[in-house]
Amino acid sequence: MQFSVKTGDLTALAADCLVVGVFQNRELTRAAETLNTASGGKVLEAMREDGFSGKSGETQLLLRAPEIAARRVLLVGLGKREELRNFRLEKPFRAAAAKLQACGAKNVVLALNGILGDDEARAAQDIVTAFANAFYRFDACKSKKEEDARAPARVALHATDSSAALRNAIKAGEALAAGMTLTRDLGNLPGNICTPTYLAEQAKAMGKTYENLKVTVLDEKKMEELGMGALLSVSRGSRQPARLIIFEYKGGKATQKPHVLVGKGLTFDAGGISLKPAPAMDEMKFDMCGGASVFGTMKALCEYGAKLNVIGIVPASENLPDGAANKPGDIVTSMSGQTIEILNTDAEGRLILCDALTYAERYKPETVIDIATLTGACVIALGAHATGLLGNDDALIDDLRRAADISGDRVWPLPLWDDYQEQLKSPFADVANVGGREAGTITAACFLARFTKKFRWAHLDVAGTAWTAGANKGATGRPVPLLFQYLLNKA
Ligand code: BES
Ligand code: MN
Ligand code: ZN
C-alpha cells in the first residue's frame, strides 16, 4: 500500500473509491459537505434513505454519485464529533478497510478535511497506521494465501495543502505500521519456527538493512562469561539455546545518552517443571511479544529516522520441562550477584529479564523500559484494555502516561511500594522468584526493581494487551504505538 498526498478539487479526483467521514447524526465533515453540495444534496439524501447515522464504524457505499468523478463514495461513520480523538480513528477506518476490500478498490482517495478539525497531519498519521493494520493478515504458515487479503495498491490522502508536517506525519504513520507488522508477525509465528535462534537471525538481517542499526547477538558461552546465571537457568531445560539480542540505534549525537528497551523474548512458555495446564497453552507462543515489540519499535525508529539513540535488548529463551530444567527450590546466581531461589519455574520471565536489565547498566541509560508478558495477574487486574505500568521514577511514568494518551495505546499504573518486597523473602537465597497469590503483577515488578536501582526504570506488563484470544486470535502489535510515541516525544 502506497500513501501519497493530493490537494485540489475533491469532486474531480479520479478514484475507484473516495472515502469521506461523517460524524454522528449525519453531521458532515468539510469533505463530506463538499461532496454533498456538488451532488445537489444527494449524499445526505442517500444517508437518510439508508438509515446511515454516522455512528463510529458505520459505513455506506454510494455508486456513481452525481457530479463526483470517483466511481464510488464510501461514507464512514466517525461517531460524535466532540468525542473524536486521533486514536479513535482506528475503529472507523478498520470498517472502511473491510468495505474497500469487499468492493476490490485498488485506487483509493481518503479525504482528511475536517476529521480532526484542522489537524490534518495527526489524522493522516493515525489513519495511515489504522489502515495498514486493518489490512494485516497472517498467512505465512498457510499453503494457500487468502484472496481477500488484497489491500488497495494506492491510497491518496486528500488534504487542504501538502505541507511538510503532513508528509512527515504520513511517514511516521507508515513507520509505526511497519514496526507493528513486524511485531505481529513475530508474535504470530509458532514456537517451532520462532525460536531464540530465529529471532537472532531476524535481528541480524535488520542490522544489515538499516545503516544506523547495529545488531549483536550473544550466545550461551558469552552469557556464561558474563555470569548470567538466571537467564541461562531458564534455557537449560530446552534444546534451543538462549540468545541475547542487542540492537543499537544511533539517530542522535554520539554524546547523547540512550533510552533502553528490554523485551521478554520467551519463545514458548510451557512453565517448565511447574508445568502449565493444557488449555490455551498454545497462547504461550506469544510469550515473546515483549521482545517482538522491541523489534517493532527499532524498526519503526529506523524507518522514520528518529533523531535519538535507542538500545534494544531481547533475552530470548524457551521454558520447557526436561531433566536439566530448573526445579522448584533451585538457587541460581544472577549477573548482578544476587542469588535467587526459584520456587516456581513458571515465573521465568523475571529470571531472563533480570540479567538483561543488569546488562543494560553498561549503556549508562537515560531511561530503561522493560516490556513483558509477565503475569496472568495483570490480565485479571486490567483485562485486555490497559498495559500495567510500574517503575521507580515518577517523571518517567508520567511521560509514558502522556505517550499513552496521545497514541491511544493505553497504560494504567499500579503501586510499587516497598511493603510488597516482603513477599519475596527467601530463607535460602537473597530473593525468591515468586511472592504468592496476592498482587502478582506488583511482586513481579518488585523482583525486577531489585535489578534496576542504577537507572530510571519503568516496567510494562503486556500480558493482557500483546495478543487477543478467541476468534480473532493474534498478536496486536502493542505496545509499539506507545513506545514509538514516547521515544518521538524524547527526540
Ligand atoms: N508468561 C506467563 C504470564 C502469562 C500467563 C501471560 C498467561 C499471559 C497469560 C509467565 O511466565 C507466568 O507464567 N507467570 C506466572 C507467574 C506466577 C508463577 C507467579 C503466572 O502469571 O501465573
Ligand atoms: Mn511462565
Ligand atoms: Zn512466561
Ligand 1 atom 7: residue of nearest CA: 376
Residue 148 has pLDDT above 70, yes or no: no
Q: pLDDT band for position 259 (50/70/90)?
A: very high
Quote the percentage of the chain above a pLDDT of 70: 99
- Determine whether the shortest distance from the Cβ of 349 to ligand 1 is under 6 A: yes
What is the CATH T-level fold of the domain 2-160, as seen in this structure? Leucine Aminopeptidase, subunit E; domain 1 (3.40.220)
Phi-psi region at 329: left, alpha or beta (left = phi > 0; alpha = psi -120 to 50): left
Ligand 1 atom closest to 375 (CA): 21
DSSP 325-349: S--TTEEEE-TTS-EEEES-TT--H
Quote the percentage of the chain above a pLDDT of 90: 97
Q: Pocket of ligand 1, candidates 287, 354, 375, 431: which has the most ligand atoms within 8 Å of its Cβ, to mutate?
A: 375
Residue 5 dihedral angles phi and psi, to the nearest 5°: -115, 140
Domain residue spans of the chain: 2-160, 178-490
Q: How far is the CA of 276 from the centre of ligand 1 (A)?
A: 9
- Cβ proximity of 354 and 313 under 8 Å: no
Least confident of 30-39, 71-80, 139-148, 322-331: 139-148
- Determine whether the shortest distance from the Cβ of 346 to ligand 1 is under 6 A: yes
Inter-CA distances, 124 with 80, 87, 88, 378, Å: 19, 11, 13, 33
- Cβ proximity of 112 and 120 under 8 Å: yes
Predicted confidence at residue 178, as pLDDT, reads 98
Q: What is the pLDDT of residues 420-479, one digit of tens each?
A: 999 999 999 999 999 999 999 999 999 999 999 999 999 999 999 999 999 899 999 999
Residue 307 has pLDDT above 70, yes or no: yes
Q: pLDDT band for position 146 (50/70/90)?
A: confident
Predicted confidence at residue 150, as pLDDT, reads 77
Residue 154 dihedral angles phi and psi, to the nearest 5°: -130, 130
Residue 416 has pLDDT above 70, yes or no: yes
Q: What is the pLDDT of residues 321-363, one digit of tens each?
A: 999 999 999 999 999 999 999 999 999 999 999 999 999 999 9
- Cβ proximity of 189 and 140 under 8 Å: yes
DSSP 285-318: GGGGHHHHHHHHHHHHHHHHT-SSEEEEEEEEEE
- How far, in Å, CA of 245 to CA of 339, rounded? 24
Ligand 1 atom closest to 464 (CA): 8
Closest CA to 311 of 219, 397, 213: 213
Q: How far is the CA of 269 from the centre of ligand 3 (A)?
A: 5
Mean pLDDT, residues 197-212: 98
Cβ neighbours, 10 Å, residue 345: 26
Q: pLDDT band for position 145 (50/70/90)?
A: confident
Reported pTM: 0.97
Positions marked active-site: 276, 350
Ligand 1 atom closest to 276 (CA): 13
- For the four alpha carbons of 303, 304, 308 and 310, in that order, the dihedral sign comes to negative
Query: Nearest ligand, CA of residue 265?
Result: 3
Query: Is 178-490 a CATH 3.40.630.10 domain?
Result: yes
3-state secondary structure of 156: strand
Q: pLDDT band for position 149 (50/70/90)?
A: low
- Determine whether the shortest distance from the Cβ of 461 to ligand 1 is under 6 A: no
Ligand 1 atom 5: residue of nearest CA: 376
- Cβ proximity of 314 and 403 under 8 Å: no
Q: What is the mean pLDDT of the chain?
A: 97
Q: pLDDT band for position 87 (50/70/90)?
A: confident
Q: What is the pLDDT of residues 267-298, one digit of tens each?
A: 999 999 999 999 999 999 999 999 999 999 99
CA atoms within 13 A on the CB side of 13: 26
